[in-house]
Structure 1
Amino acid sequence: MTSSSKTQYKVAAVQAAPAFLDLNKGVNKAIDYIRQAAEGGASLVAFPEVWLPGYPWWIWLDSPAWGMQFVQRYYENALVIGSSQWDRLRAAAAQYKIHVVLGFSERSGGTLYLAQAIIDDLGEVVATRRKLKPTHAERTVFGEGDGSHLAVHDTALGRVGALCCAEHIQPLTKYAMYSQNEQLHVAAWPSFSVYRGAAFQLSAEANNAASQIYALEGQCYVLAPCATVSKSMIEMLVDSPQKRELLLEGGGFAMIYGPDARPLCKPLPETEEGLLYADIDLGSIGVAKAAYDPTGHYSRPDVLRLLFNKKPSSRVQAFDPEYTELKSAQPEANGEK
């Protein structure tokens, strides 16, 4: 069971364009939505995928050489954990007494990651995670996460987890999350405005279905925040009639689902910015699980099981060669006789 101190509360999902490629303006806008959600009575607010400083749409529009014009600016405006901008976001969560699940491009050393942070209503960081496998062209921009980033965390609002975008198409990833008794899930999306009509698997219909199926399979509440593409973003990214067909303004299709997969709020028009609200009752999860629980009573571990490596994967493991040689030279120190 959960260590939750609240079982009934309100949540909010953001549908809005980022302050594209401008981290400081983006942080200001994020704090404004944090304030609005708290004033609207929400105990948690969820943001879209890499909302700070926005999704790198140029990777879908032209050659890598053409897209290089955006690379330095994107890198410089990515969010660094522990930076002054990071501390401002934490302070806002504490000031407005609201949990925040933030989608951001994380800069760590020389690499960017598709990241999410869970911050509690005291401004404490519950967890940060990275997308396990960037999708398709995203791999030209972002590095990979590891198994430790497929995690569900105890909070005052229950067991909370998060994934990005097409991670919701990965059956084993989802099963790993379901197995951790997730109660509230954030499914962050970047906007459904690219390749409209040409690639149905990138459409709002297909991907909202993925969010809804996550709720149905996991018997958890799912917040699906979704960004929009603004006119100013179109002006920056679209420099030909062909690109005008590839990336459209709007694409916001945010939604919130219950543990029985029921939509819990009315959608906003796809070009409109705002917050969607829904009421949470963790008690209803037990009713949903009475029918389905794929990692519990509705499983067959004697037939099918998941091998899940959730250890952090370090690129470098440092050790002291002298200490290692000394230890190996003393059998009793190694428990040998």
Structure 2
Amino acid sequence: MNEQTFDLSPMKLEEAIYSYSNSQQICSQTGLIGYLRADMGTNGKEFWSTWNGFRNDLKTDAFRSEFDDVINSLREKGQFLSDRQTLSNFCDDTQKALKFGERYCAGRDYGVRVNTQDYAYLMRLNPHKGEYNLYCYCYRKDWLDSHLAKARRGIRFINSHYKEQFHIPDGDHIRISYPDGSHKDLTCRYIDDYHFETNEKVRMNNLFHICEFAEMMEGNGNTVIPLRSSLPDQCYIYVPTENRIGIVKKGESGYYKTDILECNKIKTHDEAKTFVDELNSKLGVTSAQRAAMMAGSMFGWHTLAADPKSYDNKGQLMKTQNKTRDTAR
């Protein structure tokens, strides 16, 4: 197989979670055949690999032959799997590989997708010595793409009266708060429009129908809110009634007072807001995120106002989106 017989592109962020281990349910639905794990040895020029199978019925002779050709082609001199230095240079090129960011593996992983006629290879790359440099998850392309298209609709959360409360994307998080004041944060995965699974068991189960989950939560006196990955863990806000700088933390009501002194040297509210914007900019927090964090802390994290998608780049609420379903995701 030569380079022209397959398509290579940066992995999409929605695909990144499928380049890690998933449940049997998700692996079956996406047509996972298995994955290859490899490292480039001490000198960075070797290729020690191990195959871990999942669906032997999908591991046909045609797949084996094609997969060998793909890997061997990418190991040729000058290709990104030829040695660790070439891999590192490849990962540094944002036009070629997706950097996963802090959401996955503290930002140390990168991803590409290789497509052939029948298969999709999601390659998670790590150019660091002493770690596995490649995880290649092999899928039936039509099964994976069908699941991804459905998963884009997100995971719905409703109350016991079947009224929708909020949406989250596949792989995002929720917080369950219990009557005793404790809470648990969970990662949720899309199964279909009426089912999702969590990364930890809740009352001996981790696969739920959305109605079952709502009734169980309300019956136990629990509350559920989204912890959107599109929001930062915390941000600065200006509190005009107290003329001070505060910190809002994701998932929590109200704000924390800071060690920053009251804005005695700031004469106007506009100057104070500018100062807060500068503080948030250093954290990488956008105006839309800051506005959503403030709304969440005041009105509830399940509301549309607590979603950055509801704001423009100046942090102004976009009224035209209030009625669209996407803003709840």
Q: TM class, shorter-chain normalised? A: under 0.3
TM-score of the pair, normalised by structure 2: 0.25
TM-score of the pair, normalised by structure 1: 0.24
Higher relative contact order (CA 8 A, sep 6+): 1
Question: Which protein is bigger by CA-based radius of gyration?
Answer: 2
Q: Which has the larger strand fraction? A: 2
